[in-house]
């Protein structure tokens, strides 16, 4: 009983530290250290702290994180996003709502080589919104599209969220990547359905633009094929077991670097900026993982993970209802705390219960990612909305109104996942056993 009281006290202190503004990683490491010291000993806690941080920064498998982050930063800092947008615009920009469809297609393709949600939102806030405004698109419509398509960055590989989830629960990163492909493309498709219906109901929000000449449309295809080839080589190589996710990250970095060089979109200044941003982001993520390991070891010795699992599985209600409640925990936590940080904190506590209830761990990982996708576009944090607001200067209320229809599309995808878990499990089971 003493361990239970200590663990509950530790969680409450952790929440207070979050509210106080302390960095989440430091808060988890601090609570985990002193909680472990209280239950075991100060010497054991000191050894644990050093070991967990040392392991996080020296484990070979974690090198996948800086590699995919670097690939994304090179893509974000060069003109790749603009080229993808312009190419998609030449192909579909002339149909009703064409620039909106262009934004979804361009952002999805860009996300295939960029693991950052914020980089995707920032890039298309500066590219797509001005273009839509120039063609008299409704501002609410334009802002809602850009804020929403950034959420695909949580799910479509190579995404940091799925990498970190796989590391925390000790799943194959390659399988997690494959599990995210169909749901991510489904979200993109549902976004396009929303655009189609919205434009049908209110044609004035998206005036039709001029059709590009046939030669320009033909020239746009290679720009898109480059990205498809890079994505296909990385994911295909992982699927076939030709190389590991870390090796796939290395190949991805090289190919994006090569593409940017061929297109003359990369110079020394951009390269240094990309390395700097990638190093900062990767260190932040790895420190979060190390801190979560310290906090997780505290929860283990306090046996709260076992007790929480036993309590959840003992509830006399349908297991799908339990899953909905768990998703609500992720949703609420992800709206108040950074979505990645909350996932790192909550998953070690809830994952054992998910396994005991008989849910597929790959499916659960995708469900968590989908839930976090909602968390990044709803108040109070809504980080994607904040990025659009900071870049465009549009009021929050206007952006939130534009986001709402796309929010319904995300909810629809979650419902589909409940009834069709094969959306997440088919590709991993088909290609990786």
pLDDT of residue 2: 62
Residue 254 phi, psi dihedral angles, 5° rounding: -65, -45
Measured distance CA(431)–CA(179) in Å, rounded: 11
pLDDT of residue 195: 92
pLDDT of residue 214: 83
pLDDT of residue 424: 92
- Tens digit of each residue's pLDDT (9 = 90 or more) over 49-66: 899 898 888 888 788 888
Average pLDDT over residues 350-371: 89
Average pLDDT, the chain: 84
- Tens digit of each residue's pLDDT (9 = 90 or more) over 364-378: 999 999 888 887 787
pLDDT of residue 328: 85
Measured distance CA(55)–CA(64) in Å, rounded: 15
Q: Tell whether the model's pLDDT for residue 300 goes beyond 70.
A: yes
Residues 6+ apart with CB under 8 A from 311: none
Picking from 413, 341, 330, the residue whose alpha carbon sits closest to that of residue 22 is 341
Q: Tell whether the model's pLDDT for residue 416 goes beyond 80.
A: yes
The range of the structural domain enclosing residue 70 comes to: 2-432
Q: Is the peptide bond before 158 cis (omega within 30 degrees of 0)?
A: yes
Query: pLDDT over 90 for what percent of the chain?
Result: 12
Residues 6+ apart with CB under 8 A from 241: 432
Q: Which of the two residues, 317 and 251, has the higher pLDDT score? A: 251
Q: Spell out the alpha helix ranges (H) of 93-244.
A: 98-111, 117-134, 139-149, 160-169, 173-201, 214-239
Q: Which two tokens stand for residue 227?
A: 């990205």
Average pLDDT over residues 1-7: 67
Contact 152, 114 (CB under 8 A): no
* Alpha-carbon distances of 318 from 322, 354, 419, rounded to whole Å: 7, 13, 15
* Alpha-carbon distances of 342 from 131, 289, 354, 415, rounded to whole Å: 35, 11, 17, 23
Q: Tell whether the model's pLDDT for residue 165 goes beyond 60.
A: yes
pLDDT of residue 365: 92
Contact 408, 346 (CB under 8 A): no
Q: Is the peptide bond before 380 cis (omega within 30 degrees of 0)?
A: yes
pLDDT of residue 198: 92
Report helix, strand or coil for 176.
helix
Model confidence at 1, pLDDT cuts 50, 70, 90, reads very low
Residues 6+ apart with CB under 8 A from 184: 108, 111, 152, 155, 156, 157
Q: Tell whether the model's pLDDT for residue 190 goes beyond 90.
A: yes
Contact 349, 309 (CB under 8 A): no
User: What angle (nearest 5°) sits at the alpha carbon of residue 19, between those of residues 13 and 24?
Assistant: 75
Count up the domains in the chain and report the number.
Answer: 1
Task: Say what the pTM is.
Answer: 0.86
Q: Which two tokens stand for residue 222?
A: 């290679």
Average pLDDT over residues 169-180: 88
Q: Tell whether the model's pLDDT for residue 153 goes beyond 60.
A: yes
Q: Name the region of 97 (left: φ>0; alpha: ψ -120 to 50; beta: rest).
A: left
Picking from 189, 194, 163, 186, the residue whose alpha carbon sits closest to that of residue 176 is 163
pLDDT of residue 193: 94
Q: Look at the alpha carbons of 168, 69, 366, 123 in this order and tell me if their dihedral is positive or negative.
A: positive
* Alpha-carbon distances of 222 from 81, 99, 228, 392, rounded to whole Å: 14, 20, 10, 31
Picking from 225, 229, 236, the residue whose alpha carbon sits closest to that of residue 181 is 236
- Angle between helix axes 173-201 and 139-149 (nearest 10 degrees) is 170
Q: Which two tokens stand for residue 76?
A: 């974000």
Q: Which two tokens stand for residue 391?
A: 């870049």
Average pLDDT over residues 249-262: 88
Measured distance CA(383)–CA(339) in Å, rounded: 9
Give, as one character, the DSSP assignment of residue 154. Answer: G
Q: Tell whether the model's pLDDT for residue 90 goes beyond 70.
A: yes
- Tens digit of each residue's pLDDT (9 = 90 or more) over 405-415: 999 999 999 99
Model confidence at 380, pLDDT cuts 50, 70, 90, reads low
- Tens digit of each residue's pLDDT (9 = 90 or more) over 385-397: 888 888 888 888 8
Model confidence at 92, pLDDT cuts 50, 70, 90, reads confident
Q: Look at the alpha carbons of 119, 127, 88, 378 in this order and tell me if their dihedral is positive or negative.
A: positive
User: What angle (nearest 5°) sits at the alpha carbon of residue 151, between those of residues 323 and 343?
Assistant: 45
pLDDT of residue 244: 84
Average pLDDT over residues 111-133: 81
Average pLDDT over residues 224-238: 85
Contact 197, 190 (CB under 8 A): no
């Amino acid at each position: 009983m003493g361990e239970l009281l200590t663990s509950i006290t530790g969680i409450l202190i952790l929440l207070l530290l979050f509210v106080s503004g302390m960095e989440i990683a430091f808060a988890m490491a601090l609570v985990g250290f002193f909680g472990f010291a209280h239950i075991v000993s100060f010497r054991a806690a000191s050894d644990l702290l050093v070991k967990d941080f040392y392991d996080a920064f020296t484990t070979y498998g974690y090198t996948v994180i800086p590699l995919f982050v670097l690939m994304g930063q090179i893509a974000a800092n060069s003109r790749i996003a603009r080229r993808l947008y312009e190419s998609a615009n030449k192909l579909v920009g002339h149909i009703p709502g064409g620039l909106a469809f262009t934004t979804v297609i361009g952002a999805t393709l860009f996300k295939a080589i960029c693991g950052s949600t914020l980089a995707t939102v920032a890039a298309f806030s500066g590219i797509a919104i001005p273009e839509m405004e120039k063609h008299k698109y409704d501002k609410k419509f334009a802002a809602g599209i850009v804020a929403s398509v950034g959420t695909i960055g949580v799910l479509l590989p190579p995404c940091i969220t799925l990498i970190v989830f796989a590391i925390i629960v000790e799943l194959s990163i390659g399988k997690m990547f494959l599990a995210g492909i169909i749901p991510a493309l489904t979200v993109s498709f549902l976004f396009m359905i929303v655009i189609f219906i919205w434009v049908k109901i209110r044609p004035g929000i998206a005036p039709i633009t001029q059709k590009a000449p046939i030669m320009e449309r033909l020239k746009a295809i290679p720009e898109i094929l480059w990205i498809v080839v890079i994505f296909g080589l990385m994911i295909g190589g992982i699927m076939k077991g030709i190389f590991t996710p870390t090796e796939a990250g290395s190949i991805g970095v090289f190919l994006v670097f090569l593409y940017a060089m061929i297109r003359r979109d990369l110079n020394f200044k951009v390269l240094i900026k990309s390395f700097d941003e990638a190093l900062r982001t990767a260190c932040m993520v790895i420190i979060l993982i190390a801190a979560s390991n310290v906090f997780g070891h505290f929860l283990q010795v306090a046996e709260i993970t076992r007790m929480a699992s036993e309590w959840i599985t003992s509830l006399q209600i349908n297991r799908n209802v339990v899953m909905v409640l768990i998703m609500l925990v992720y949703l609420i936590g992800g709206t108040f705390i950074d979505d990645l940080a909350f996932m790192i904190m909550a998953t070690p506590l809830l994952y054992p219960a998910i396994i005991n209830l008989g849910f597929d761990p790959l499916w659960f990982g995708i469900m968590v990612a989908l839930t976090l996708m909602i968390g990044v576009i709803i108040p109070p944090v809504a980080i994607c909305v904040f990025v659009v607001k900071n870049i465009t200067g549009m009021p929050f209320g206007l952006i939130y109104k534009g986001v709402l229809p796309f929010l319904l599309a995300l909810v629809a995808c979650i419902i589909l996942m409940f009834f069709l878990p094969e959306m997440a499990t088919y590709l991993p089971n088909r290609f990786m056993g």
